[in-house]
Amino acid sequence: MIEVHILHLVLGVILFFLINWIGRHSYSVGYMQISMFLKVEEAPAFNFLFRIIGPIVYLFIVSAILYKIRLDKFVINIYFISIYYVLFRLLFNLVTNRGLLMNWYRQILYWISIISISYFAYSEIIFRKENILPDFETISNELWIIILIFLFQTFNQIRVSSDKTIKRKENYLESRYKNFHEKYGKFINENIKNNKLKSIVYALMIYEDFNRPKITRIAENISFILTKQKHSLGLMQVQTDNLITDFESVKLGIDKVKTAYERALKDRGLENINKEDFNNRGVHHYEWDLKRSIIKDYNPDGPYIYEVSELSNNIFDKFFSENKDYLTPYYNE
């Protein structure tokens, strides 16, 4: 029955976006996303249960709704929703170049667990319509619920070592930097001489690409063609009234960064600063202030400024260690 599989596929994709949406709003209880900066896994018990039990709860809710509206035939083999969900998540992470950030052993464990528990829940509970709702009449069920809550809270206090996670993030950073350096490095070197400023440009490129991967940018281009409204387009997500390529966005992005840098120097009087004033305040004050001003001009969001700043530090230390320029012109002299 092709219509059954089509509905299950659609529900699997909806589950993917629903899990991601809930996750983005669950930092207070420890949800962990794939990130370039996280070093310690908080609330591992919550993460494990959320990723595995979340899809199962979704199956129960969807099944109950389908039974209620008398669409019983769509409940047949409803565990396929979990299979489609896993396949779509795998495809999404590969298409968006996030494979290097993933702990594949853990992900495979998640996926096997989700599919196995989904099949068990379907065959033992969901398939029998009368058993779709849990029975809380016995005291043993209530005691087990209390035990499970206690175990959850206990294991949720554990903090997991992050050495392998950090290594994956370093590999991801190196891979994306080399990719963009190969494509745009010559143009960047021709237009920017200061290595510190280059590290900010690469950080913006990598960060924007992480949050707006190629497939998303294609969708944004299509949206622009259809609506003709001003969009943030291209690799560096610059505001434009015209349809632009990734390379054109890099050109515009570099111009924006250079303009913000020159304005920041002028606003702080650093173009003609004297030695005494400079030494009184110190290079580190100016460096932090200038960098923050440049990134803030690109995007004023607080977390954005912090993460791009940290990313630029990593890039500068890793790829420009031989020539440690400073944003403050006087200090380079």
SS3 string, the chain, reads: CHHHHHHHHHHHHHHHHHHHHHHHCCHHHCCCCCCCCCCCECCHHHHHHHHHHHHHHHHHHHHHHHHHCCCHHHHCCCCHHHHHHHHHHHHHHHHCCCHHHCCHHHHHHHHHHHHHHHHHHHHHHHCCHHHCCCCCCCHHHHHHHHHHHHHHHHHCCCCECCHHHHHHHHHHHHHHHHHHHHHHHHHHHHHCCCHHHHHHHHHHHHHHHHHCCHHHHHHHHHHHHHHCCCEEECCCCEEECCCCCHHHHHHHHHHHHHHHHHHHHHHCCCCCCCHHHHHHHCHHHHHHHHHHHHHHHHCCCHHHHHHHHHHHHHHHHHHCCCCCCCCCHHHHC
Work out the pLDDT band at 83, boundaries 50, 70, 90.
very high
Instruction: Tell me what pLDDT residue 31 has.
Output: 34
* Predicted structure pTM score: 0.64
Mean pLDDT of 253-263: 93
Work out the pLDDT band at 51, boundaries 50, 70, 90.
confident
| Residues 85-142 pLDDT 10s | 999 999 888 888 777 777 788 888 889 999 999 998 888 888 877 666 555 555 545 5
